[in-house]
Amino acid sequence: MHGALLLAVSFSFLAQNIALCGEVTQGGSCSTADDHIDPASHKFLSDCDDTTFCSPSSAGSSNGTCQPRTCRRDEFPFGYNKSPSLPPLCSRGSFCPDEGSGCKPLLAPGQACQLNRDDQCAPPPDWHELASNQNFNGSLCLRSTCTYANASLGQTCIVDDVTYIDIGPTGQQYSNTITRDNCQTPKLYCDRSSTQCIPTKALGEVCDADRECQTYSCGTSGTCASPPSMPFHVSAWQFVVTAFSVVAAMATIIMMLVILHKRLRLQRYREIREYYEEQMRLRRSMAALHAAAAERYEDVK
Ligand SMILES: *[C@@H]1O[C@H](CO)[C@@H](O)[C@H](O)[C@H]1NC(C)=O
Ligand SMILES: *[C@@H]1O[C@H](CO)[C@@H](O)[C@H](O)[C@H]1NC(C)=O
Ligand SMILES: *[C@@H]1O[C@H](CO)[C@@H](O)[C@H](O)[C@H]1NC(C)=O
């Protein structure tokens, strides 16, 4: 349901990024005090441009210089124009922070993480039970703190709302709120009023948000729907009707061809018979002519 909106929001990140990202290039002076998250788009911003980060000149000082980034998070990071020397990706067990200041080891629960960076948090020991498409290996970054998605039925849970604001071409604001919680997904979700984990809803039940549904898709009619990526299910009777139609069409074509062939054969048979009869008539009249001539010859003799 939110797919199109999210896409629109991410496109606008790009557009805003051009206007909002730092202008200072490598070697220029900057202040780490200016490192911040854009309040509307929640993108990380600093004085430095997209290929550098603000490195403090000495510990405890906020003044520093823009240094080339030493790690990247994306396969194709923004701001690098076909650069041959992209900073490396981080190995497993480490992560690249938003500013790109170097790989850091994964964070334990309770430690501070960056917005929408579940991948900065270390997986729980029972990660294969907790992992789902709504967390990263069973870990979450909720309210800027690493958490495990391990709250079970009836336990108190944390709800985190993040509102992304986008300015449309006409200056109109569009907002999209992403709500996440630390309940065990997709079986449970965090009920906002009781802040307790409760079971997710089955297909057709009334819902307010995608996370309330087992299918993680709250349809436009306000009830849990099948996810858009779900393959279309063809029922048995549709298979039977389709197969029957195909067979019937084939049988009809064959019958029409057989009838056509029979008619052509009949036509040909008639032609041959007419020819034969004509030949026979000719033969008979020639024989008769011959006989008459012979008779007259006998008479003359
Ligand atoms: C940082 O730089 C500003 C201006 O460039 C200066 O006023 C300030 O004292 C500096 N601060 C530190 C801690 O060096
Ligand atoms: C999840 O964590 C385990 C254990 O650290 C690791 O082996 C596995 O590759 C991780 N899976 C993903 C998708 O990161
Ligand atoms: C979830 O993980 C945290 C951190 O390890 C732990 O303190 C808590 O007891 C766990 N909760 C459940 C229900 O397992």
d(CA 184, CA 149): 5
Does position 80 have pLDDT exceeding 70, yes or no?
yes
pLDDT (tens digit, 9 = 90+) per residue, 23-79?
Answer: 888 888 999 899 998 888 888 899 998 889 999 888 778 889 999 999 999 888 888
Q: Is residue 123 within 6 Å of ligand 2 at its C-beta?
A: yes
174 C-alpha to ligand 2 centroid (Å): 36
- Which residue(s) pair with 162 in the sheet? 178
Evaluate: CB of 94 within 6 angstroms of ligand 2. Answer: no
**Per-residue model confidence as pLDDT tens digits over 116-153:** 899 999 999 999 999 998 999 999 999 999 999 999 99
Q: Other CB atoms closer than 10 Å to residue 274's CB: what's the count?
A: 10
CA distance 35 to 54: 8
How remote is the CA of residue 104 from the centroid of ligand 1, in Å?
Answer: 28
Please name which ligand lies nearest the alpha carbon of 54: 1
Tell which one of 63, 65, 66 to mutate to probe ligand 1, the residue whose CB is within 8 A of the most ligand atoms. 63
Q: Is 132 in the pocket of ligand 2 (CB under 6 A)?
A: no
- Taking the C-alpha atoms of residue 95 and residue 104, their distance in angstroms, rounded to an integer, is 5
Ligand 3 test: best mutation among 130, 135, 147, 150, most atoms within 8 Å of CB? 150
* Domain regions of the chain by residue span: 3-14+34-56+63-78+88-212
| d(C-alpha 44, C-alpha 63), whole Å | 18
At 236-277, the pLDDT tens digits run: 999 999 999 999 999 999 999 999 999 999 999 999 999 999
- Closest ligand, as measured to the CA of 33: 1
Q: Indicate whether residue 137 lines ligand 2 (CB < 6 A).
A: yes
Residue 134 and residue 14: Cα distance in Å, rounded?
24
Closest residue by Cα to residue 136 from 104, 113, 165, 164: 113
Nearest-CA residue for atom 7 of ligand 1: 63
User: Does the Cβ of 127 fall within 6 Å of ligand 2?
Assistant: yes
Ligand 2 binding pocket includes 97 (Cβ within 6 Å): no
Q: Whose CA is nearest to atom 5 of ligand 1?
A: 63
State the pTM of this model. 0.68
Whether 109 is in the pocket of ligand 3, judged by its Cβ within 6 Å, is yes
Q: Is 138 in the pocket of ligand 2 (CB under 6 A)?
A: no
Q: What is the 3-state secondary structure (H, E, C) of the chain?
A: CCHHHHHHHHHHHHHHHHHHCCCECCCCEEEHHHCEECCCCCCEECCECCCEEEEECCCCCCEEEEEECCCECCCCCCCCCCCCCCCCECCCCEECCCCCCCCEECECCCCECCCCCHHHECCCCCHHHHCCCCCECCEEEECCEEEECCECCCCECCEEEEEEEEECCCCCEEEEEEEEECECCCCEEEECCCCEEEECECCCCECCCHHHECCCCECCCCEECCCCCCCCCCCHHHHHHHHHHHHHHHHHHHHHHHHHHHHHHHHHHHHHHHHHHHHHHHHHHHHHHHHHHHHHHHHHC
* pLDDT above 70 for 2: no
> Which residues approach ligand 1 with their CB closer than 6 A?
61-63
Average pLDDT, the chain: 88
